[in-house]
Chain A
Amino acid sequence: MEDIMTVVDWSRWQFALTAIYHWLFVPLTLGLSVIVAVMESIYLKTGEQKWLSTCKFWMTLLAINFAIGVATGIILEFEFGTNWSNYSWFVGDIFGAPLAIEGILAFFLEATFGAVMFFGWGKVSPKFHLASTWLTAIGASISALWILVANSWMQYPVGMEFDPAQMRNVMDNFWALFSGVAVNKFFHTVFSGWALSGVFVIGVSCYFLLRKSNTDFALRSIRTGGWIGLAGLLLCMYTGDGSAVEVTRTQPMKLAAMEGLYYGQHGEDLVAIGVVNPDKKWDNDEPPYLWEISLPKGLSILARHDLDAFVPGINDIINGVDYTSDGEQINTVSYEERIMRGKQAQQALRDYGMAMQKNDSVAMQKAADALRPNFPYFGYGYFSSPGEAIPPVAVTFYSFRIMVMLGSYFLLFYIVVLFLAYRKEMALRNWRWLQIIALISVPLMWVCSEAGWMVAEVGRQPWTVQNLLPTVAAISDVPASSVVITFWMFAIIFTLLLAAEVSIMIKYINKSTKTDLSNPSKK
């Protein structure tokens, strides 16, 4: 087995597997908690029992998702310590501080107010209960904030200085962690949770309509979930645009991979749909696509908000070439030079270690001085060719298009469903084909959401920390066989958890279709 796949590959697959499964639960918690809070707010304002029963139904589904999904992210932290020990030491308190804050906030806000939200009906005042529901929703988003701050630092490492004695990055500016990359990523992710949960609420509500059960409850839910989902989707698109600009600025190679773009130009087109040429490599003359349909100047607008802006392709970035919108050439650092300077940085660190062993403070200072200017390219020293620093183009390209195409479909979906819910209510009640489409849309929304993460995480390969630490250096010295065993254990455990969640939800929903939700005691 070790001959076929290395410990790096298995560790990456294991991390991807656990992250993908974890993300099945998280966005529903982020969005459904807000939808439930809005429903409870309406109940408190109107005093109408129908809103209370609506709120309680969705709160139960939230509880199921919360219970099954809670702590699945901790497994990722286990993997840091075992499979990625070089990485977890190297990132130091930069990564540890946000995760520690996340743990504390998650515990206090979600656990404390979540308990009041689920158990406190009739035991605390209605206003305190509502506040607890909102604080649970806010707590979930704040938890996400710290995780995403840590993730953003890996994509755009700032606010730290590397200490060669400790072999750790030491935080020197906490607020720098809240970079444009982090802010866009946070809002993009949280709003994607709203968009996902809106589709979930509409899909489940359409199941009630299909069964001709609790139709008023279903329409009420569709309207509430629809508006929050639509707002989430529009804000997700807006912050996605901000993310594209940030990616162009901080991770241009990721943007080039998203587009399968090898040589850029001014007024670059955006490939709307196409097939990348599997034989295309950065160092051959094959065409990049087998076929493609492009939007004129679309990429220049997306990347730099300028019709005529130059967008560098993979080869431009490798060659260290970029241009201003006026056509003036900007020389960035070529990958050949980055590799050379990375190797110099590694030699300086090696020298520092030898000087430390000899307790030679003069030599240590000299090595530290040699390390500092080349440290921004430290990770490139692990490569022998620029091609090793290119992410998998096809996966990034297709994931981006799946996310955008499904996102566009869901915009249309929300508009149609909300229009029908307000103007053609009977159509929404009776059009079975539309109700079935809404049900099918629920898993598609998860595909869209996971595809977004694929773009973000596959597109930044081969880096665990951008420019500083590639996966090949971040890995621990553990046998691949042990990672293989735990990979399959996780695959089984997570699949069982997912099956349990879906099964419990379906049972509860089916049971609810046989109950009058406006009067739950009546069958």
Chain B
Amino acid sequence: MTAKGIINMYVEGFRSMTIGRTLWAIILLKLFIMFFVLKLFFFPNILEKNYNTDAERASAVRHNLTDFE
């Protein structure tokens, strides 16, 4: 199958959907909420956000796990 054929398969596949249109709307809304709302505003990677280097992150985890002063 050529690249054009592959693209056509997707385009026609989407066009001929009945139930699929609702599904794709749900998928896109879900992915938007997950990646652009939840991930950005509610689920930062704590260690990535608070520390700049892996050495600092390791040190922070060591502190957390041993109450290291």
Q: Which residues of A line the B interface, CB within 8 A?
A: 60, 63-64, 67-68, 70-71, 74-75, 78-79, 81-82, 85-86, 88-90, 115-116, 118-120, 123-124, 164-168, 346-347, 349-350, 352-354, 356, 473, 476-478, 482, 485-486, 489, 493, 497, 500, 504, 508
Nearest 10 interchain pairs by C-beta: A119-B13, A81-B45, A78-B43, A67-B23, A167-B58, A85-B46, A350-B66, A82-B43, A167-B61, A89-B61
List of B residues within 8 angstroms of A164 by Cβ: 62
**CA–CA, A82 and B41, complex, Å:** 11
Report if A482-B42 is in contact (Cβ < 8 Å); known contacts: A89-B58, A166-B54, A497-B26: yes
Q: Are B33 and A493 in contact (CB under 8 A)?
A: yes
Q: How far is the CB of A463 from chain B (nearest CB, A)?
A: 14
List of A residues within 8 angstroms of B64 by Cβ: 86, 473, 477
- Pairs across A and B, CB under 8 Å, 10 listed: A64-B23, A68-B23, A74-B34, A75-B34, A119-B9, A167-B57, A349-B66, A349-B68, A350-B67, A473-B64
* Contact of B24 with A by CB under 8 A: yes
| Interface residues as binary, B25-69 with A (CB distance below 8 Å gives 1, 0 otherwise) | 011001101100011001111111000001001110111111110
Interface residue SS majority, chain B = helix
**CA–CA, A167 and B22, complex, Å:** 46
List of B residues within 8 angstroms of A489 by Cβ: 38, 42
7 more contacts with CB within 8 A, not counting A75-B38, A346-B66, are A119-B14, A120-B13, A123-B8, A124-B1, A167-B62, A349-B65, A350-B66
Q: Are A353 and B66 in contact (CB under 8 A)?
A: yes
List of B residues within 8 angstroms of A167 by Cβ: 57-59, 61-62, 65
**CA–CA, A56 and B36, complex, Å:** 34
List of B residues within 8 angstroms of A478 by Cβ: 46
Q: Are A353 and B63 in contact (CB under 8 A)?
A: yes
Q: How far is the CB of A142 from chain B (nearest CB, A)?
A: 22
List of A residues within 8 angstroms of B58 by Cβ: 89, 165-168
Q: Are A473 and B65 in contact (CB under 8 A)?
A: yes
Q: Are A90 and B24 in contact (CB under 8 A)?
A: no
**CA–CA, A464 and B1, complex, Å:** 47
Beta-carbon nearest neighbor of A356 in chain B: B59
Q: Are A123 and B65 in contact (CB under 8 A)?
A: no
